[in-house]
Structure 1
Amino acid sequence: KGMNQQEQLINGMLNKENLLQILRTSSVFMDTDGGPRIKVVCRYQQFRAARKICDRLRNGKNQAEKSGVVWHTQGSGKSLTIVLVARMLRASQDLNDFKIVLVNDRIDLEDQLSKTATLIGGRVNIIENTSDLRQQLSTDSSDINMVMTHKFQQREESLSLKVAEALGTYQTMPSGKPFGMVNDSERIILMIDEAHRTQGSDLGDNIFEAFPNAVRIAFTGTPLISERHGEKKTHKRFGQYIDTYRLMDAVSDGATLQILYEGKTADAALYDKHGFETAFEDLFKDRNEEELLAIKKKYGATGDILEAEQRIKAIAVDLVDHYINHILPNGFKAQVVCHSKLAAQRYQTAIEEALLARLEKARAAAKPDLELIRKIAFLKAAVVISGDGTNEAAYITTARRQAKEWNAVDNFCRPFDLDDPDKEYTGIAFLIVCDMLLTGFDAPIEQVMYIDKKIREHTLLQAIARTNRVKKGKKRGYVVDYIGLANHLTEALTLYAATDEQEELAAGLKSITSEVPVLEERYQRLLQLFAENKVKLVAEFVQGKLPDVEADAAVVHAAVNLLKDEKIRADFEVYLKKFLMSMDIILPHQAAHPYRVPARRFGYILRVAKERYKDTSLSLGDAGQKVKDLINDHLISLGINPMVPPVELLADDFIENLHKHAGGNAEAKASEMEHAIRKHCTVHHDEDPAFYKSLSEKVENLIDKYQDQWELLADELEKLRAEAIKGRQSGEDGMSKEATTFFAHIAGEAFADGKVPEEAKAKMKELMEAIVDTLQDSIGSIDFWTNADKQKKTRSEIKTALTLTGIKELKQNRERVAVEIMKLAKNRHDELLKGSTK
């Protein structure tokens, strides 16, 4: 209480007991898809939940007290939490005898969980069938096992396909026999992933029957909690909540993204509304049963309307326009959720036609955007649906075959690669589904879900959570609703958000324009930064209201001068990035239009500051592509290439650019020259530390000497630039250039005030010449800087020389001085070899 976030992190994570356990059980190495191996450290809610589970196992008096539910929202890392529990159990002396059984209900989740489970360490047994289940899980061994839920079913008689379809059940008739007990040990822990989906069914009962005394831990992001679920509510099946981490917890932590909701009724989405004047989508929001029956009688079954080609074509046009305008610029992708397999196939055709029409429109523009044309031409739509058995319709077979040939799901998850002809299917921008991939599908590249299917409660919340995964450049997830799910969304949020979060969530999911007040607040914070530091007329400048160019230039000069302070410059960058993030979320919506000119002009101030202070950290790198294009087009119109880095001090055109940037302002010229020299000294410091430290001190002295005399300061700094360009030209006091460089650096490292006593100077000079000879003899071998043994031998020779020279300071500091000599030698590798006469 009373601590800021940094203090909480320090006190929580660096507590001795916690830190040791994090290092021992909660830090793992993980291979990324096609990338480097990374070290993953637990999030606080993962560590907290795992610890609580272990505590319950130790302190619970019976099965009920040990069991429970971990309610962690979608995308918060439940699979890794399961791994951490297993690692903690294995590392503890009193709990390492537990048999661990990991249960999941889908093949894709089994693949995901099995990859994660390898992080536990040791062998993980994969249960392949029911007989293996009975054999392997009946033992007392404290092993780790993974099993899919459907292995806990027994089926006997086969039904014909037609009979099975008529009954709406599987082709194999369920057995009338109980599943039976497999293992009655109390030292078994069942950890069930996505436990809300099957644990209220016969399969769930069979699992409990198989392990009657086992500890049951349910992991879910959307537990069954509404009254209609009755005794199947997740907490009634498994016990009280062990740990909760809800929607807004994850959003606030940055573990997941906030989702913005945009409702598209028939009026907004359909162009030809003749056949749909009643706005059929609205029936899902507020029609009662009597009205629903009347509408069905007049217009046909719901499925007929939701599969109507005219309606789907109209929505597809709107959907493609939305995608190209809002999502494509930042390189993200879309999922389309529709009513049926037939609707999915029709959506694919309609989206392909809409893409072609948009492509022709782009080509016919007065000034064609060639990059946009190239991107649209690359886009594809794929259908992913399940099969219907041996008598499935031809369009289903075709769609399934195409999805397999395109490797649709994997290529959808990959970024667009327009340059590699072998990766044309990374152009899959639209993944069209009806039931598959609504849950348990992790694709951070998906930013928007277009919904044209009636779904509710936990299924709805799980579906829209596909868009909330974090990925670089992705600021928000989007849900675009073509069927009228607003009431169901409110219902879902009421169930799965804490009471005090419901209003906040509902507002965040209400409309894209809900970001406008955030944008305005961030805009005002930028203006406030300058106002509170006495820089006037910034609001007038960014709004383009000043009378002339001279007035604009005066404000830019004052603003950039303020940014000389590194703290204020860092604040400006942070505030601007947040402002631009909100801009990118709203663009190209008209609500962003009043902020377009301010965005361009703040971007211009950033660019001038970047050039003036040679600060390459100032960039629009984190801004979305829509905002980058907005600002960069403005800079290009002013003759500034945003892709060119600040002009370096040694560049041939430095002086020419200096005069252009300064615009006749002597203070601006002196300031840019000063920061160019400072940056040059920083970049090259390690090549000759003593020389560049001296150069930096000369800059400070000139600034102190010529305060407010900008013309004189600029002239003196230009002379200093000439000295910086030349660098150290020759040796001093009879030493070679290389020996002088090492002498000056080691003097600063080993002697008080960097001054070598007169009586030691001769020995020191002789020593440095000898060390340079040793280095020139050693470092020329091809693998010297990658061969630890060779480096160790040379460093040992240097330490011996330092010890035998008779100079007390060098002998006392020989370890550190030897290391500094080796570091300098590596940085001056080419210069040393160039100066060698051997």
Structure 2
Amino acid sequence: MVVQVERDEVERPLVAQLEAMGWTHVPGVELDTLDAAVPLLVDQLGPALRRINLRGSDGQPWMGEDDIRRAVGELASLSLGSGVVQANLAATDMLLHGWTLPSPSAAHGGPSATVQYIEWHPDLVTRNTFTVVDQLRVRSRSGELSILDVVLFVNGIPLVAVECKSPDLAEPVRSAVLDLRHYAGNPVLDLDSTGAPVPAGVPELFRTVQLLVAATGETAHLGTVTSEPEHFHPWRSVEPEEESTLRRELRTAGLLADDADPAAPPPLGEQQKLVGVVLRPAALLNVVRHYVIPMAVESDADGGAVRTVKAVARHQQYRAAEKAVRRLLNGRARAGRDTEDERGGVIWHTQGSGKSLTMTFLVRRVHLHHELSEFMVVVVTDRTQLQTQLSRTLKLSESDVETAKTRTQMEGLLRDGGRRVVFGMIQKCGTGFTFAGEAEGSGDDRDLTGEGTGGGEDESPGPVPDFPECNRSSDILVLVDEAHRSHTSVLHAALRKAIPNAAKIGFTGTPIITGREEDTRRIFGRGDSPRGFLDEYRMEDAEHDGVVVRIRYEGRTGEGEVRDGEVLDRGFDDLVRDRTPEERAALLKRWPTERDVAESVPMIEAKAEDMLEHWVTTVLPGGFKAQVAAVSRKAAVQYHYALRRARDELLARLAEFDPESVTGTPLEKLSARQRYLHQAYQFRALLRRIDFVPVISPGAGRKRGQWREWTDAGRQEAYTERFQKAFPELAPDPEWVAVTPFNPPQDPAPSTDPAGGMNTPWSEASNSEPSPLPTSVPDPVHPDSPIAFLIVKSMLLTGFDAPREQVLYLDRPIRDVELLQAVARVNRTSPGKEVGYVVDYYGVFEHLSSALAGYRNADVTDTMRDLSYEVDKLGPAAQEVRDFLRRNGIDDAQLDQLAKLGPAALALQPEDLRFDFDEVLHAFLATLERVLPHEDALDYVADARRWSLLQKRVRRLCRDAEGGTFTLRRYGRKVRAMIADHLEGPEIDQVIPPVSLTALTFDDAVRRLPPQEAAAEMGHALRFHLEERTKREDPAKYERLSKRLEEILRTMPGRFEEQIEEFGPLIEEARQEQEESPELAGLTPLEQRVYRLVEQILEDTPGIRLAGDGDVRRLAGRVCDVATRAMARASYQGQHQDISALAGDLQDVLLGNDVRPVDGDWAALGNAAERLASFAQNNLRQFRSRARGE
């Protein structure tokens, strides 16, 4: 059974490995049930407090019994009445920094004392006790019993909770995460929820829990009490631990064979790695102290409101920071003019993998280390966006952060030294560099590589600053972001003169250009990796971990060149094919150069129309956004108006489109134009509201006030923040406004003219003396318009972290590092985002080998591939599914017949086959999602429908997914749109029985099935019911019926009619919640549970009583009604304030139904109401189902 698999293959190996690492195992059955009021192992905490807290004068214990009682009570009652996240943050602060105990015992000798609950010093870790408890029983405030799989206690304080799931479940990691979040009292509000029963919450225990682990035996994922399922991450590194140590411990635990071939040892599993690295006693304290930080994020589910979450380092962040600290501790500092510092190196972590947080963890680790705590950390970057992002992130390290905007400020801060973080934003300037506060002109809109773009509008010569010597201390660490830049050598020379003995660590998100590798290592030092890096985390590693999505590019217009000023390129010719030869000749005369073509109005309008169609059909279905990189600022402004016009023309076509004309026709059978209009039609309300916004710097037009509406820094920040937000959910517009845009373009397209006139954005700037500039320019973007496109030249192509951006439309020359950084804008992860697209309108990818000539081929192909690579994978991926079905005796050609689904599902009943089918089908559907709506993908849509229906039949038969049902959650949105209708409908319901054996139609559905299918349905339905409901509500009944079920299956193999006869009485008994009494007659299962809880509360609480006329049945019904109404509201999010408000309403219900406090004990009445509210929250889904009449 699934539970036995969890115990034997996941939980017991995990506990055995912990024991081998020094944890003390205490089985949960040997402990008393923990009360949520004091969720601590008090008998361990008291002695630990005495052992840890010693007098500074003589190193002797000073805490007396009263001191210990008060310290334990303070931790147990901390933040009572607060939400779980706020309470967890407060408890974390207390554990890290201690608690001030007023008036300690005389043995202390002072008016107050700081009580430490954990000994954090790495040399004194053995003063702590490390205890692992499996099957820990905890009684919730509502009186329900929760049994947690594994909990790790340090000094009797719960720090880690582990949920174990069988690897054979459909989504074992997700299932474990959902249970952990329910236990923590912070459930995931899942739109795809299946309504499955959930465990009772014990948020009091999770106040101090720092790490959550979802374990499956094969893998284990790490998160915190606030981590969403997609933010739990695997642990794939062994470093900085020694693999030999892990293997020795695993052999001690009996988890690795002693006779394994030492030359080819079996690989370590991901669960073994996470346990062996993160949960190692000393390492766990290191992770909790340095690598778990609170962060403020915006919540899509709550209208963009800012909330606090806790983030834990990923394996590559921990590995890199620990390597850097070890290098700082063990490397040789520079001893004189002829020696080099050996404490640095280069960390190459691919873009999007969290370099900013890696720096934050490193700074936190350095400043909390007893040997490194006085280091000054100097962070050097060269882009405004990077500096803003890094400074915001590094504040999470809790170190003082200061920014030097000029050379004078930098010199002063360097001279002062001390424990702080100093930022310097230094920009390239001619052959040298200058500080951002002293720079003029382009800002972030410059060419990073020094390669011209035809116009040279970004080049501005400047002086090379001559730094004086500022500080000779070796307690200085320099972190250089984007250490690959061409000006690194000049920067190094200046820093070496100013702070000659500093250690230097470089960070890069892109490969180092081949010719600069040795120079980079000379500056920063050589690491231990084969290529000399301090740490490497390449694109393929990040994709494998799910840290970034893969990047796929496609060319849309050919070579993108003008040859000898005579012939327009093939792509341009295609885009203006409707022009006459005379008109094309005229266009050639008007736009004779490459840049002229890229800025030409006809070209931009044609490309804008193509961009919009690509975005609507490929990107918008997932709710994602776009960025355009234009050849110049002028072109960027042109694109704003061209995209608006393309949108308005689309809306006009939609006004004439009749969706009924294509109803019933599979999308793959429609023409390309029909598919475009059909897909766009459902987004009409959004399309009329969206806008396309340039974000450019003033450049040489600053003094003329050119394009001021698009260059205001404050407005740009607001635009980028709006771009980061999800599209709103919009109701359909009335027909009479459905094609009227919020923001129609004016004709001619206006641009701010300082002289007061109206220019088109592509007209030449006036040579006349400008008039005085207006004090302000109206915002051209409607405040209610969602921003769908950002249009840039170079701004936001580096350091701009936008998970909602899925496509970059590239219409400018770009090469080397700037190209690699630009395309990485689309690789950030977001739910539902399988891939990032780069669409090339300039021909950059036609000459990819030239554009990236300085890099090794493997480094480039790791970063991005042509979309045709995915197209070519579709056929083999589909054949893998066909081959799998054939090997298991399933005729794919017959699966279009619904009657054949049952026998096929029976063939896939074994757990290993279900898992393998999921894997091959997911690989195919993920590839299809990345390729759609490409023409070549349409040939495979029928296969996707057929195989997805089989998967639904298998999952509904075996009931091994969350809620026992089937969900499209793992499918991309484009695939969902193609297949969803095929998976529903009356004819499908005829062949797939309902999940629950309590459903009214279950018996009739089973009777229609052949005996083998009917027996399988009854057996799986009975097992699911026992596991999901009976086990929690009536353990004795669960054991009795489970044994009988297994006995029938064991003794009657293949005798399906006999199995059906035996299953019948078992199912009837399972359906009976308990022997029905007159008081429970007619109540739903949920109402019966509330009835029993009310009875239990009245019996357990002497401070309240039911008056003579009181009626428990009526009271239980009123409790259900009030809780149902409260939880049905959209505003109810299950947060502390929601539960408190519900408890207040339920207290009124108690009073209104003759429940009275005894001797004025109003606290008892309040506690009773809180127990009822806690029960309701733990059964949120059931109450919401009740509200829907289910």
TM-score of the two chains, using structure 2 as the length reference = 0.54
Match of 1:427? 786
The residue number in structure 1 matching 2:371 is: 94
Is 1:263 matched up with 2:588? no
Q: Which position in structure 2 is the counterpart of 1:322?
A: 614
1:625 equivalent among 969, 973, 980: 973
**Pairwise mapping of residues 49-64 of structure 1 onto structure 2 (< 5 A)?**
49-61=320-332, 62=334, 63-64=340-341
- The residue that corresponds to 2:297 in the other structure is 32
Aligned position for 1:613: 958
The 5 A counterparts of 1:496-535 are: 496-497=855-856, 500=858, 504-505=861-862, 509-510=865-866, 512-533=867-888, 535=889
Provide the C-alpha distance between the structure 2 equivalents of 1:155 and 1:26, rounded to a whole number of angstroms: 31
Could you tell me which of 894, 900, 905 is aligned with 1:541? Answer: 894
Give SS of 1:149's match: strand
Aligned to 2:313: 42
Q: How does 1:309-708 map to 2 (within 5 A)?
A: 309-367=601-659, 369=678, 370-388=681-699, 396-400=707-711, 404=715, 407-419=718-730, 425=784, 427-486=786-845, 489-491=848-850, 495-497=854-856, 500=858, 504-505=861-862, 509-510=865-866, 512-533=867-888, 535-537=889-891, 539-542=892-895, 549=897, 553-554=899-900, 556-617=901-962, 618-636=966-984, 639-640=987-988, 646-656=994-1004, 658-659=1005-1006, 663-685=1008-1030, 686-703=1032-1049, 707-708=1053-1054
The answer to whether the 8 Å contact 1:75/1:256 transfers is: yes
Deviations 1:247-304 (CA, angstroms, capped at 9, x unpaired): 333223332222111012259999xxx983555799xxxxxxxxxxxx9999523221
Structure 2: which amino acid aligns with 1:468? Answer: N
Q: Give the RMSD, CA atoms, in angstroms.
A: 4.7
SS in 1 for 2:341: helix
The structure 1 residue matched to 2:1072, chosen from 709, 719, 726, is 726
**Kindly tell me: are residues 496 and 12 of structure 1, through their superposed partners in 2, closer, same or farther at Cα, counting changes over 3 Å?**
farther
Following the alignment from structure 2 to structure 1, what is the Cα–Cα distance between the partners of residues 722 and 798?
18
Alignment of 1:56-135 (within 5 A): 56-61=327-332, 62=334, 63-127=340-404, 129-135=406-412
Check whether the contact 1:105–1:198 (CA below 8 A) recurs between aligned residues.
Answer: no
For 1:607 and 1:438, the matched residues in 2 are separated by: 42
Q: Which moved more, 1:581-590 or 1:488-497?
A: 488-497
Unmatched tracts of structure 2, length 5 or more? 1-264, 300-305, 335-339, 447-454, 527-532, 575-586, 661-677, 734-741, 743-781, 1082-1094, 1107-1118, 1120-1135, 1141-1170, 1180-1190
How far apart, in 2, do the equivalents of 1:366 and 1:253 lie? 45
- Asked whether the 8 Å contact 1:265–1:281 carries over to 2, the reply is no
Q: Paired residues, what number?
A: 726
Q: Aligned AA for 1:580? A: L
**Change in 2 beyond 3 A, CA 1:586/1:178:** closer
**What one-letter code is carried by the residue in structure 2 that aligns with 1:489?**
L
Equivalent position SS for 1:137: helix
Q: Is the 8 A contact 2:425 2:435 kept in 1?
A: no
1:284-326 Cα distance to aligned partner (Å, 9 max, x none): xxxxxxxxxxx99995232211100111111112211111111
CA shift at 1:427, angstroms? 2.9
Per-residue CA deviations over 1:685-736 (Å, capped at 9, x if unaligned) read 22222234333344445555665454554455444444333321258xxxx9
**Rounded Cα–Cα distance in structure 2 between residues aligned with 1:572 and 1:33:** 37
Distance across 1 between alignment mates of 2:701 and 2:871: 53
Q: Distance in 2 between matches of 1:653 and 1:590?
A: 42
Contact 2:426 2:435 in 1 (8 A): no
Relative distance call for 1:610 and 1:780 in structure 2 (3 A) is: farther
Note the 1:158-197 alignment, pairs <5 A.
178-197=466-485
CA distance in 2, matches of 1:235, 1:594: 51
- Code of the residue aligned with 2:267 in structure 1: it is M
Mapped to 2, the partners of 1:829 and 1:202 lie a distance apart of 61
Residues 1:140 and 1:426: Cα distance change in structure 2 (over 3 Å): same
Q: Paired residue for 2:129? A: none
Distance in 2, matches of 1:430 and 1:9, equals: 41
Q: Tell me which of the two structures has the higher relative contact order, counting C-alpha pairs closer than 8 angstroms and 6 or more residues apart.
A: 2
Give distance in 2, aligned partners of 1:158 and 1:583: 48
SS at match of 2:377: strand
CA shift in 2, pair 1:11/1:99, >3 Å: same
Instruction: Look up the match of 1:756.
Output: none
Cα–Cα, structure 1 residues 86 and 230, in superposed 2: closer, same or farther, change >3 Å? closer
Matching residue of 1:767:
none
- CA distance change for structure 1 residues 108 and 559 in 2, over 3 Å: closer, same or farther? same
Q: Determine the C-alpha separation between the residues in 1 that align with 2:411 and 2:626.
A: 43
Displacement of 1:327 in angstroms is 1.2
Q: Given the alignment of the two structures, is residue 209 of structure 1 paired with residue 497 of structure 2, yes or no?
A: yes
Amino acid at match of 2:829: V
Counterparts of 1:518 and 1:106, CA distance in 2: 39
The aligned amino acid for 1:30 is M
CA distance in 2, matches of 1:665, 1:68: 68
Which residue identity lines up with residue 536 of structure 1 in the other structure?
A: I
- 1:407 aligned counterpart, secondary structure: helix
Q: Specify the SS of the correspondent of 2:643.
A: helix
**In 2 relative to 1, CA 600–182 (structure 1 residues): closer, same or farther, beyond 3 Å?**
same
Contact 1:194 1:220 in 2 (8 A): yes
**In 2, are the aligned partners of 1:154 and 1:174 still within 8 Å (CA)?**
no
Q: Any conservation in 1 of the 2:427–2:436 contact (CA below 8 Å)?
A: no
- Counterpart in 2 of 1:3? 267
Cα distance in 2 for partners of 1:244, 1:606 equals 39
1-structure distance, mates of 2:502, 2:842: 44
Distance 1:114 1:776, change over 3 A: same
Matches of 1:697 and 1:179, distance apart in 2: 81
Q: Deviations over 1:325-379 (max 9, x none)?
A: 1111111111111101111111122222222223333443342655233343343
For 1:169 and 1:411, locate their aligned partners in 2 and report how far apart those are by CA, in whole Å. 28
Q: Alpha-carbon deviation of 1:581?
A: 0.7
Go from structure 1 to structure 2 and tell me whether the alpha carbon gap of 1:226 and 1:572 turns closer, same or farther (over 3 Å shift): closer
Q: Provide the rounded CA distance (Å) in 1 between the counterparts of 2:538 and 2:910.
A: 41
Deviation at 1:449, TM superposition (A): 0.8
**Separation in structure 2 between the aligned mates of residue 199 and residue 645 of structure 1, nearest angstrom:** 68
Distance between the aligned counterparts of 1:688 and 1:269, measured in 2?
75
**Percent pairwise identity:** 31
| Pair 779,219 (structure 1): closer, same or farther in 2 beyond 3 Å | farther
State how far apart, in whole Å, the 1-side matches of 2:569 and 2:463 are: 51
- 2: CA distance between counterparts of 1:676 and 1:23? 43
Cα distance between partner residues in 1 of 2:786 and 2:1177: 48
Gaps of 5+ in 1: 283-294, 738-769, 788-821, 831-838
Contact 2:827/2:836 (CA < 8 Å) preserved in 1? yes
Kindly state the Cα deviation for residue 202 of structure 1 after the two structures are TM-superposed.
6.1
**CA distance change for structure 1 residues 698 and 361 in 2, over 3 Å: closer, same or farther?**
farther
Match of 1:123, as an amino acid? D
- AA paired with 1:480? V
Q: Which has the higher helix share?
A: 1
